[in-house]
Structure 1
Amino acid sequence: MPSRRTSNTGDSSASMGPLARFWRKTHAPDYVGFVVLLAGWMLIVNLVNPFHRMFFTNDLRISYPHAEHERVTVPLNFLYALFIPLGVLISYNIVTRASTHKHEATYLAFAISIVLSSFITDVVKNAVGRPRPDLLARCQPSADTKPNVLVTIDVCTAPDGHTLQDGWRSFPSGHSSFSFAGLGFLSLFLAGQLHVFNYYTGGRDLSRALVCLVPLLGAALIAISRTEDYRHDVYDVCVGSALGMTVAYWSYRRHWPHLTSPVCEEPHPHPSAEAQPGWQRVRDEEDQDSGLVFPLGTRRS
C-alpha cells in the first residue's frame, strides 16, 4: 500500500508565528484545557447547590441511616485513586528510563482523566439532584409532614449546609467515577506497557493480565463501599464507574495507541515531531485495518 503524500509541511510550519507554532508544536492546548477544567470543577464544588428533587418522607429508599464514618473518605479516595496510581506511574517510568515525552504523555493524560471525570460527574450531580439513600437522616423532616405527599427541602429542619445540600447529589457516584478514572487509567497504562492484548508478545501470559486487573479490583471495592455506607445505590455506582472508565479510556487513547498495537508501550509522537516533507508513514491503526501484517520495525513505502 502506498504511503500518503503530505503537502508543504515545512512551508506551513515556517509561515506560522511564534505563538501559533508554540500552540501547535507543544501540549499547550492540553495544559490550558486542564486548567480550565480544574478551575470549573473547583467552582462547581464550592459555589453550586444541587437541584432539590421532591421526595416522600415515607420513601424507604431514602430512609437509610447517615454514616458518620465512611469506609472510604474523600481524602482516602484521593490517596487510593490519585496519589498511589501516580506514584506507580512515576516509578515505572523511572525504572524503565522512559523518555521525557513518555513522562509527559503519561501524567498529562492521567491528570486530564481525573479532572474531566470529576467535572462531568459534578455537573450531572447538581443538574439531576437525585436524593441519596440517607436523605431523610440528613433532612430531618418536621414532625407534621404528611406521608404520601411530595414535599421539598422546605420541610427539612436540619441546618442548611454541606451535609444537607449533599443529600441531593446521589447520581452518579463521585467516588466511583473518580476511582475508575484514576485506577482505570493505571490499568490501561499497565496493559499497554505489558502488551496484555498483543497475542504475540504477551497476550497469553495470564500473570500480566492479573497485574492489570488489580487496579480495577481496587476501584470496584471503592465503588462498592459507597453502597455499604448508604451514600449511593447500585444504579449510582454503576453509572459512576462506567463514566470514570470511559473518560479514562478516552484520555488514554488521545496520547497512546490502541492496546493491540505492536508499539502500545510508547505514546503517540510529540506534536513537535515534523513529518518528512513529501512522504509520511501511515499509522499503525491503518496497518491493522488494511489486514496486512508487517514485521516490527519495518516501514512501508
Structure 2
Amino acid sequence: MFGAWFAHMSPNKRPFALENPEISFPFQNHEKVPTMMLAVYAMAIPAIVVLAVCIFLVPGPTVSKSIPKNVIWARKLWEWHTGWLGLFLSLSAAFLITSGMKNLFGKPRPDLLSRCDPDLADLQKYKVGGFFGTDVVSAEICRQTDMNILNDGFRSYPSGHSSFAAGGLIYLSLFLASKLAITIPYLSSSPSSINKERYTAFPTYTKAYTRNLAIAMDRKSDSTNPFEQSGHNEAIIGARNEAAAPPVYLLVFAIIPFFTSIYISSTRYSDFRHHGFDILFGYLIGAVSAIFSFRWYHLPISQGAGWSWGPRSRDRSFWAGVGVGNYAGLKDEEVEEPEMGLDSGRRENIEATRVNRTRSHDSIELLPVKSPFDNTEPDLHPSKNLQ
C-alpha cells in the first residue's frame, strides 16, 4: 500500500545539464517488458508455480500410507500458505524500498531530455548552475504537459523492474531449490567427519570400519538434534559417498527464474530507462528481499529437507515476551525454579526431563504422529530420606 502511494507521489527533480550525453537518449513508448508483463513474470507465474509444487510434490515420498488424507492436505495447504507469504513479502519489500528511494533521489533517466522538451529560448531563466559552458537547469525548463511522463523521467534510481524481477524470481529459484533438494554437496561437521578412514580410496576395507559404523549407528539412534534429519547422509563409508550432486536437469529448473530476472533487468538498459548502476542496485534490493523473505518462512535449503517453518504457538501468536526468544513452544516449557534441598542428581534428572520434553516438541518430523500426552510431573519435593 505504501509502495503504491510512493509510486504516485511527485518525486524530487534533480537539476540536470543540457549537455549531458547520459540523459540524451530517445524516449521509447514500447518497452520490451512493460509493467503489466513484469507483474505476470515476477508475481503471477511464481505464485502459480509455488501452488503447483505444493499441491503435487508435497509432502513427498516419505509419507506412510497410514497417514490420514486430512493431515496430508493440511501440510500441503501450510506449505502453500508459507510459500505465498514469502513471495509477497519479498515483492512488497522490494517495491516499497524501490518506490521510496526513487522519490527521494529524483535521478534523471537516460531519456530525460526527450521527455522534458526543454525551453531553450528562456535558458537563463531556469539556469541554476554550470561551469565552463555547462548549463545546469531546473526541471521547470521542461515543456512536457503530461506530468506522468515527466515525473517518471526523474525515477531512474534504483530500477523498479530490476528489484521487482529479482524479488519474485530469485525467491522462486530458492523455493524450487528447497523443494527439489538442490544444494551443493557438502561434508558434515559431525565428529565422524574427522576420521581419516573416510578419505581413503576404499574406506570399507579399513580395520576401523566396523567399529566406526557401530558408533555412528548408536549416535544416529540416540540423536535428538532435529537438523540431523535433514536428509544429509552421514555415512562413514567414505567422505565421497556422504553426499552427491543433484541432477543437472533439476538445477536447470531452479535456475531459469534467476536467468529470467537478469533478462528483465537488461531490458531496462537497452530501452534507455535506467543507467547501469541503477539496474545493479535495484537488482541487489530485490535479491536481498528474496533471500530474507525465503529464510523468514523456510528452513535452510541444505538442512531443512524442503520444509517451511511451522506455525507460531497459539499463546505466542502476536507476542512472545522478553526472555522467550522463540515464537514456537508450549506453556509447560516455562522455567521453574527448583526447590531448595534437592541434591545434584535429582536436579539433573529434572533438567533432563525438561530438555527431552522440549526436544520432543521441537523435532522436525514429516508428519508428526499424535501421541497421548504424558501429564506425569517430576517430584520436585525433597525426599524424607535425604540427608
Q: TM-score, structure 1 length as denominator?
A: 0.77
Instruction: Answer whether contact 1:256 1:264 (CA < 8 A) is retained.
Output: no
RMSD between aligned residues: 2.3
Task: Return the alpha-carbon distance in structure 1 between the equivalents of residues 164 and 361 of structure 2.
Answer: 32
Equivalent residues in 2 for 1:21-100, closer than 5 Å: 39-46=1-8, 48-98=9-59, 99=75, 100=77
Instruction: Answer whether contact 2:106 2:155 (CA < 8 A) is retained.
Output: yes
* Percentage of identical aligned residues: 29
For the residue of structure 2 that corresponds to 1:49, the secondary structure is coil
Higher Cα Rg, which structure: 2
| Code of the aligned partner of 1:49 | S
Please list every run of 5 or more consecutive structure 2 residues that lacks an aligned counterpart in the other structure. Answer: 60-74, 125-132, 186-231, 233-242, 314-327, 334-353, 368-387
Residues 110/167 of structure 1: CA separation in 2 closer, same or farther (3 Å cut): same
Instruction: Answer whether contact 1:195 1:203 (CA < 8 A) is retained.
Output: no
For the residue of structure 1 that corresponds to 2:137, the secondary structure is coil
Instruction: Answer whether contact 2:329 2:361 (CA < 8 A) is retained.
Output: no
* Paired position in structure 1 for 2:104: 127
1:139-179 Cα distance to aligned partner (Å, 9 max, x none): 01112236611111011111151100011100110001000
Greater relative CO (CA pairs within 8 A, separation 6+): 1
Instruction: Answer whether contact 1:256 1:267 (CA < 8 A) is retained.
Output: yes
Establish whether residue 172 from structure 1 lines up as the match of residue 158 from structure 2.
yes
* Paired position in structure 2 for 1:115: 92
Task: Return the alpha-carbon distance in structure 1 between the equivalents of residues 361 and 182 of structure 2.
Answer: 21
Aligned residues: 247
* Paired position in structure 1 for 2:280: 238
Task: Return the alpha-carbon distance in structure 1 between the equivalents of residues 79 and 42 of structure 2.
Answer: 21
Equivalent residues in 2 for 1:1-301, closer than 5 Å: 39-46=1-8, 48-98=9-59, 99=75, 100-144=77-121, 145=123, 148-197=134-183, 199=185, 203-261=245-303, 263-272=304-313, 274-275=329-330, 277=333, 278-279=354-355, 280-281=358-359
Shift of 1:202: 6.0
Shift of 1:130: 0.7
Please list every run of 5 or more consecutive structure 1 residues that lacks an aligned counterpart in the other structure. Answer: 1-38, 285-295
1:194-248 Cα distance to aligned partner (Å, 9 max, x none): 1211525664432222211100010100000011100012111111111101101
Instruction: Answer whether contact 1:195 1:202 (CA < 8 A) is retained.
Output: no
Shift of 1:104: 1.2
1:50-87 Cα distance to aligned partner (Å, 9 max, x none): 11111001110000000110000000000111101111
1:7-29 Cα distance to aligned partner (Å, 9 max, x none): xxxxxxxxxxxxxxxxxxxxxxx
| Code of the aligned partner of 2:56 | V
Instruction: Answer whether contact 1:202 1:208 (CA < 8 A) is retained.
Output: no
Shift of 1:283: 12
| Code of the aligned partner of 1:230 | F
Instruction: Answer whether contact 1:188 1:252 (CA < 8 A) is retained.
Output: yes
Instruction: Answer whether contact 1:226 1:232 (CA < 8 A) is retained.
Output: yes
| Code of the aligned partner of 1:87 | I
Task: Return the alpha-carbon distance in structure 2 between the equivalents of residues 260 and 104 of structure 1.
Answer: 22
| Code of the aligned partner of 2:165 | S
Shift of 1:97: 4.1
Question: Deviation above 4 Å: which 4+ runs of structure 1?
Answer: none
| Greater mean alpha carbon deviation, residues 224-233 or residues 269-278 | 269-278
| Code of the aligned partner of 2:114 | A
* Paired position in structure 1 for 2:191: none
Instruction: Answer whether contact 2:181 2:246 (CA < 8 A) is retained.
Output: no
Instruction: Answer whether contact 2:12 2:154 (CA < 8 A) is retained.
Output: yes
Instruction: Answer whether contact 1:187 1:215 (CA < 8 A) is retained.
Output: yes
